[in-house]
Structure 1
Amino acid sequence: MAEIAALYSGNMVPRVVVVGCGISGVAAAHRLVKAGFHRVQILEATGRSGGRIHTGRLGNNVAEIGASYIHGPCEENPVFCLARDYGLLHQESRFNFIFSSISSQRLSSEDMSPVLEMYDELMNDTSQFKNKKETPWASLGHFMRSEGRRRAAERCKEKDATTRQLLLCAFNALLKDECSSNAAHTLDEIDVVGFGIYKNLRGLDCTIRGGYEGLVKSLLSDLPADIVTYNRPVRCVHWNNTENSRDTVNVECDDGEKISANHVILTVPLGYLKKHHSSFFCPPLPAHKLHSIHKLGFGTCNKIYVEFDQPWWDADCDKIYLVWRDEEDLLDHVSDIRKSWIRKMSTFTVLKPSDRSAIHPVLCGWISGHESEYMETLSDLEVRNSLTELIHTFTGNPRLTPRRILCTKWFHNPWTCGSYSHPAKGCSEQDLENMMEPLPTNGSHLQPLQVLFAGEATHPYFYSTVHGAVASGWREADRLISHYS
């Protein structure tokens, strides 16, 4: 860092504006400040930090409105390492689950084991498509349905027709759950080759004690108190400055003020870029970058937290799958959203109390796609009534009623326009590389590194995750550090 120190001593301190105070923007700013960059400013459109990390409460229970888990807690995971260093690690998420059919019929793990084994095999088999230019499958959904039916027929030859039908219905519940994992309306939207780009990390998912926002607050506590300006939406980023001057980018805020900077690190969600790119950049983005923004997928996954007086599930249960007995056709979305949107929610996870004061048990229901977006338009009473009917259907207990609910609404959030990214049909590794390419592009005669891009959708193989967001923020900070050193 001697060269950077010398640069600073010559009063040539670069000014860096970070747009967005989500975990990616905070990680980038944290890296720069620790490296000696003292003119770093974060502009946040809302009144809080965290972005798609947002911790709420339902009664005395912590309820994650946004990100919930550290996926793959190991040394390769920057979020795990940060949470460990800050003393924030909570607990591993276990995988004790039950399959429940209508009228409280419990489906035994022994009966369901063929479905689980087949599903795991199919997911593992998707790795064979990585880096292949052509496959016989039009999408991940096409592969999973076609191979699922074929393998189910082979393995269940000796079972009666009713059992075979039930196994396919359970398989469909797993497909709907996979839609939530990818924030997709249907697995038919997922590219089967692109699906293999994602890199899994080892280890059971775990949570952060007190909620994920604690990690953001810990990182911000290491930074200057005035580094973030809240309620400061950005209207347009003016780049492509041809002058050989220090301030090469102008960030225009909603109130018309323009903030000059040497570099801008842009961390806004892909959903926002898809909707506002035409007015957000002046001049417009290069064609190849714009093409990749359109090609990559960005969908909605919401949660519905449901509080009860008493648990109606086993004490050691962590996840509940809801199996409808008329879904053997393996359709992972509903045909009539207004009438049947609630059927898209195929899983509940059991919320583990973060402290002993949490006396009422809570389930977290997961729902994605257009059904999830429609749910956001309903009142809490309408959602609660639909949930109550669903619970009555599966428990057979008409007296079982939720105390209260809490719904997330990411699709109609104007700053996110959805939840997280996925490899949509037709996208490639090149599109992910285009997403993280700075402006101006390589070979340009313009001042370099005017606009840098970070966020989960810009990570080449950790997209859709918090650790991908952190790693991308560090990547762009390191790009500037390397530039000046």
Structure 2
Amino acid sequence: MGVNAKVVIIGCGISGIAAAHRLANAGFHHVRILEATARSGGRIKTGRLGDNIVEIGANWIHGPSEENPVFCLARQYRLLDPEALTPENQAMDVGGHPPWVPNIFSSSGRKLNTEDIYPALEMFAELMYESAEFESQGGEPWACVGDFIRSEAKRRAAEEWKDIDATTRSLRLCVISNMLKVECCVNGSPSMDEVGLGAYGLYKTLPGLDCTFPGGYEGLIKNLMSELPSGLVTYNQAVRCVHWNNTEKKENPVTIECNDGERIVSDHVIVTVPLGYLKKHHSALFRPLLPLHKLHSIQRLGFGTNNKIFVEFDSPWWDADCEIIHLVWEDEDVMVDHMPDVQRSWIKKLFGFTVLKPTERYGHVLCGWIAGHESEYMETLSEQEVTHTITQLIHRFTGNPTITPRRVLRSQWFHDPWTCGSYSYPGKGCSAQDLDNMMEPLPMKGSQSQPLQVLFAGEATHPCYYSTVHGALLTGWREADRLISHYSSISPSEPPKSKL
């Protein structure tokens, strides 16, 4: 019975590909992916800056170790550098914050001494660790991570730094402001005031020192796609509406209506669209509408924008061992992580740059990181305006007016109509129940209708690896396995298990 079931997957990102892979390997013959764009990969997107390969989308394998399926596949396809494969690398548990060598510059054009501001970095790390504890302890003193960090930093600074001069104390608080902007990028949130304190600890990290794909993340997609039966994906085929719960039709209870008018009947549909798209289009995308508790969870979960601005230089203005550059504004000791005047001060949200390594491969390329509404505004500017603003910024922070970028390339995830942002985070008032609601298939348990008509996958449906590629991949497998076990429980012969 299972092998004859018609399954349509909406979206050819990593979760859709993973689901198709698993179903095809289990002997399902009628699997089809509908992809709105002309390419596979979704938020995995590799581009070029001159001769360099750069990641417009997903950047790292977070936690490259045996528990991470993305790492295991990348290793199997031989897509990684030898050092990423070493046991030492896999054993390093950095808790999501790699120990990168920093260069820190201030808005008065000084390169700061790391020793002077180390206490601020240490305090911030402690506060982030404590933020993650409330989820398991219950009872949160503040609604959001931002309020907790600011109030505690203020209190501890008054106690622990009372004997240092006012200028240094002020500078350290400005460093905390910078670190809040870093966290906005990590979480994909407009501000840490949007991230729920009670749910912050739901996210789990895996051991392993984050690594990248020398040939580009899309190599993973190409390898996975090459193992799918040809013709399984229809590109440039956007879905207008999923008609489900058609009680008259015992066979093929789901009809997928495409933008071009095509109607596809199926037994099951796996929806893998990004949460940003779901937030914007859920009311048009489903007939009947989604149940209320599912809608409330879609609203409570956050989905923000984190963009990159790649900047190439003729020669480096940072130290040879530097891996990350922080830009500290000296007027931010009130610890702000969003700008009241976005149009005039959007650039202040850019926390700094990561250095693309190794230099032999990339030359002198930095990747600037900017999240939130400032990031969304940046997308609307011309490339010339972005280049000009970045150049002015570097002149100001280095005190060197001769540094000139060779070329600039930026991502624009907010204005991408099929993603509407970057990735998910737990919003205020969010709980583990919301993530459970996100992955619950329709119709709901206890309904008389045919079960598992609409299934949900994608990073925003993973209970603890949301916002990651491995989370997205695992959810695709999860929903495929849900269908495989459904059919093996009602059919006499169990379909073969996937080889993945």
Q: What TM-score comes out, normalization by structure 1 length?
A: 0.95
1:152 Cα deviation from its structure 2 partner: 2.2
The whole-number CA distance in structure 1 between the counterparts of 2:213 and 2:405 is 26
Report Cα offsets for 1:77-129 as digits up to 9, x if no partner.
Answer: 11111111111123657611121113542222222221121111111112320
**Is 1:375 aligned to 2:378, yes or no?**
yes
Unaligned runs of 5+ in 2: 85-97, 489-500
**What is residue 185 of structure 1 aligned with on the other side?**
190
**What is residue 26 of structure 2 aligned with on the other side?**
35
**What is residue 36 of structure 2 aligned with on the other side?**
45
1:471 Cα deviation from its structure 2 partner: 0.7
8 Å CA contact retained: 1:62, 1:354? no
Report Cα offsets for 1:229-259 as digits up to 9, x if no partner.
Answer: 1000010001012146331211111011101
**What is residue 100 of structure 1 aligned with on the other side?**
105
The whole-number CA distance in structure 1 between the counterparts of 2:247 and 2:431 is 32
**What is residue 307 of structure 1 aligned with on the other side?**
312
What is the aligned counterpart of 1:123 among 116, 128, 137?
A: 128
1:157 Cα deviation from its structure 2 partner: 2.2
**What is residue 322 of structure 1 aligned with on the other side?**
327
Instruction: After TM superposition, list the pairs within 5 Å mapping 1:393-432 onto structure 2.
Output: 393-432=396-435
> SS state of the match for residue 146, structure 1?
helix
1:418 Cα deviation from its structure 2 partner: 0.7
**What is residue 217 of structure 1 aligned with on the other side?**
222
**What is residue 475 of structure 1 aligned with on the other side?**
478
What is the aligned counterpart of 1:285 among 281, 290, 303?
A: 290
**What is residue 462 of structure 1 aligned with on the other side?**
465
The change in CA–CA distance for 1:289 and 1:79 in structure 2 (over 3 A counts) is same
**What is residue 19 of structure 1 aligned with on the other side?**
10
1:155 Cα deviation from its structure 2 partner: 2.3
> SS state of the match for residue 380, structure 2?
coil
Report Cα offsets for 1:159-200 as digits up to 9, x if no partner.
Answer: 111111111111111111101111111111010011111111
The change in CA–CA distance for 1:179 and 1:308 in structure 2 (over 3 A counts) is same
- Tell me which amino acid in the other structure corresponds to 1:326: D
1:426 Cα deviation from its structure 2 partner: 0.8
> SS state of the match for residue 460, structure 1?
coil
**What is residue 441 of structure 1 aligned with on the other side?**
444
**What is residue 85 of structure 1 aligned with on the other side?**
76
8 Å CA contact retained: 1:241, 1:447? no
Report Cα offsets for 1:296-341 as digits up to 9, x if no partner.
Answer: 1111110000111111111111100001111100011112111110
- Tell me which amino acid in the other structure corresponds to 2:437: N
**What is residue 55 of structure 1 aligned with on the other side?**
46
> SS state of the match for residue 442, structure 2?
coil
The change in CA–CA distance for 1:48 and 1:394 in structure 2 (over 3 A counts) is same
> SS state of the match for residue 265, structure 1?
strand
**What is residue 366 of structure 2 aligned with on the other side?**
363
**Mean Cα displacement is larger for which, 22-31 or 243-252?**
243-252
- Aligned residues: percent identity? 63
The whole-number CA distance in structure 2 between the counterparts of 1:83 and 1:15 is 30
The whole-number CA distance in structure 1 between the counterparts of 2:352 and 2:60 is 16
> SS state of the match for residue 202, structure 1?
coil
**Mean Cα displacement is larger for which, 343-352 or 93-102?**
93-102
The whole-number CA distance in structure 2 between the counterparts of 1:86 and 1:115 is 42
1:354 Cα deviation from its structure 2 partner: 8.4
- Tell me which amino acid in the other structure corresponds to 1:246: E
> SS state of the match for residue 82, structure 1?
helix
Structure 1 runs of 4+ aligned residues shifted over 6 Å read none
The whole-number CA distance in structure 2 between the counterparts of 1:94 and 1:290 is 39
- Tell me which amino acid in the other structure corresponds to 2:260: D
The whole-number CA distance in structure 2 between the counterparts of 1:228 and 1:202 is 34
1:355 Cα deviation from its structure 2 partner: 6.4
8 Å CA contact retained: 1:244, 1:447? no
**Is 1:170 aligned to 2:161, yes or no?**
no
The change in CA–CA distance for 1:355 and 1:86 in structure 2 (over 3 A counts) is farther
- Tell me which amino acid in the other structure corresponds to 2:465: F
The whole-number CA distance in structure 2 between the counterparts of 1:246 and 1:133 is 46
8 Å CA contact retained: 1:209, 1:354? no
**Mean Cα displacement is larger for which, 92-101 or 287-296?**
92-101
- Tell me which amino acid in the other structure corresponds to 2:39: R
Instruction: After TM superposition, list the pairs within 5 Å mapping 1:212-361 onto structure 2.
Output: 212-243=217-248, 245-353=250-358, 356=361, 358=362, 360-361=363-364
1:479 Cα deviation from its structure 2 partner: 0.2
1:353 Cα deviation from its structure 2 partner: 4.7
Report Cα offsets for 1:22-70 as digits up to 9, x if no partner.
Answer: 0010011111111111211111000000001100010111111100011
The whole-number CA distance in structure 1 between the counterparts of 2:369 and 2:223 is 28
1:73 Cα deviation from its structure 2 partner: 1.1
The whole-number CA distance in structure 1 between the counterparts of 2:221 and 2:63 is 19
The change in CA–CA distance for 1:480 and 1:355 in structure 2 (over 3 A counts) is farther
> SS state of the match for residue 470, structure 1?
helix
**Mean Cα displacement is larger for which, 288-297 or 95-104?**
95-104
- Tell me which amino acid in the other structure corresponds to 1:203: G
**What is residue 114 of structure 1 aligned with on the other side?**
119
The whole-number CA distance in structure 2 between the counterparts of 1:400 and 1:355 is 21
The whole-number CA distance in structure 2 between the counterparts of 1:67 and 1:437 is 26
